[in-house]
Amino acid sequence: MFAYAMITGVKKGWLKDKAYAESPRKAWIGLNKLFIDKDGLVDKVCVGTGQTNSLDFYLNRPTRRAIRTARRPFYGASTPC
């Protein structure tokens, strides 16, 4: 989400200093290396927490591949404004 927000800020001209462009660029490269699988789908996305008082569940919740919650930030960051 941070990469999405910063990329959006740079693309829309809200973050004008060139120094702001380096962090989202590095984040984008890292996201592609770590979380895009061979089929081009977003992978290793944690499931929603729902309502629970379990810290253990929150810290160890399962991950899924190609779930809707991961698509919008990733695709939004990857397309022009």
Q: What is the pLDDT of residue 81?
A: 55
Binned average pLDDT, 10 residues per bin, the chain of 81 residues: 84 87 87 86 78 82 76 69 55
DSSP string, the chain: -HHHHHHHHHHTTSS-STHHHHHHHHHHHHHHHHHB-TTS-B--EEPP--S---HHHHHH--EESS-HHHHHHHHHHHS--
